[in-house]
Amino acid sequence: MNRDEALAIVREFVQNENLINHMLAVEAAMRAYARKYGEDEESWGRVGLLHDFDWEIHPTLEQHPMDGAPILRERGVPEEDIRTILSHAAEQSGVPRVTLRDRALYAVDELTGLVTAVALVRPSKDIRDVTVKSIKKKWKDRTFAAGVIREDVEQGCAELGVDLWSEHVPLVLEAMQGIAAELGLDGRLAG
Ligand SMILES: [Fe+2]
Ligand SMILES: [Fe+2]
């Protein structure tokens, strides 16, 4: 399964551009972590790209991501990728996070949402203007992007064995800055 095939699955099941952008952001962060750990960038990116592909058709925690698994299987997504995808909702799926890749996916998932929100409140609406410091400030404001459960990200970092502020946030931010245009966070929304 190459990247184009994975992206085609996403485009088939997702209309909402924000959701697609979320998966592109998680993909970029996963690729960055794969490089950091000397792991396979393609498969790490792929689980990021696909992890929420069924959210529009299965928009409840009773369905997502469990009911998406047979669809991925049918499309030829490797079983090990499906397992990692199920593990991002370990509580619902009962599939625990075991591998480094499972842990990385869980750690980056929510954080990308906060980083996107921080970029969108900047006048420039350009993620390349976002700093770790500006993320930290918004992190502390619990009313900002309140849906991003800070404890989940902290838990993810603990499981992965990375420091939140000196390692995790800089890596995810840099990865997302690297695809600013794909995310629509390159200033085009300013004005
Ligand atoms: Fe999800
Ligand atoms: Fe997600």
What's the pLDDT tens digit per position in 107-157?
999 999 999 999 999 999 999 999 999 999 999 999 999 999 999 999 999
How many whole angstroms from 89 Cα to the centroid of ligand 2?
9
How many whole angstroms from 54 Cα to the centroid of ligand 1?
9
How many whole angstroms from 191 Cα to the centroid of ligand 1?
32
pTM: 0.97
Are 54 and 13 contacting, i.e. CB atoms less than 8 angstroms apart?
yes
SS (H, E, C) the chain: CCHHHHHHHHHHHCCCHHHHHHHHHHHHHHHHHHHHHCCCHHHHHHHHHHCCCCCCCCCCCCCCCHHHHHHHHHCCCCHHHHHHHHHCCHHHHCCCCCCHHHHHHHHHHHHHHHHHHHHHHCCCCEHHHCCHHHHHHHHHCCCCCCCCCHHHHHHHHHHHCCCHHHHHHHHHHHHHHCCCCCCCCECCCCC
pLDDT at position 135: 98
**Ion ligand 2: residue ranges with CB closer than 5 A:** 52, 109
Q: Measuring CA to CA, how many Å separate 63 from each of 58, 76, 93? A: 5, 21, 9
pLDDT at position 80: 98
Starting from the CA of residue 65, give the closest ligand: 1
Listed as ranges, residues in the chain with pLDDT below 70 are: none
How many whole angstroms from 140 Cα to the centroid of ligand 1?
24
What lies within 8 Å, CB to CB, of 187 at 6+ separation is 124, 125, 126
